[in-house]
Amino acid sequence: MQAVVLAAGVPETAVLLEPRSADTLGNAREVARLLRAHGLDKVILVSCGYHLPRARFLFRAAGVRVAASAAAAAGSPARRTYDLAREGLAWLVHIPKAFRLLLAA
């Protein structure tokens, strides 16, 4: 993703990398931590349309202000069906964790 934003003309000094997380909730927490360390609190969040609502919810729960944009859908109809089913299950897993995150703030 770093290469994509740099190729789009975003200055390298405006790019912060978060290399620690393994899932969206972890990414939201790590990005919040990274932003606070730099005196920032807002991101432009770009993800697949099916994933964007959950990602936005988790980033907001972590205390990050979010401007969001959906990337173009890709893949076969079967792949998109799989992705939607997986996303539904991810909501079930991450909603309770996000509320614990909000309560801890």
Query: So what's the pLDDT on residue 105?
Result: 59
Q: For residues 44 and 46, what is the distance between their CA atoms, to the nearest angstrom?
A: 6
Query: So what's the pLDDT on residue 95?
Result: 82
Chain segment 21-75, per-residue pLDDT in tens: 999 999 999 999 999 999 999 998 988 888 899 999 999 999 999 999 888 777 8
Tokens representing 23 are 């899932």
Nearest 10 degrees: Cα torsion 59, 100, 83, 27? 40
Confidence of residue 104 (pLDDT cuts 50, 70, 90): confident
SS3 90: helix
pLDDT(100) > 70: yes
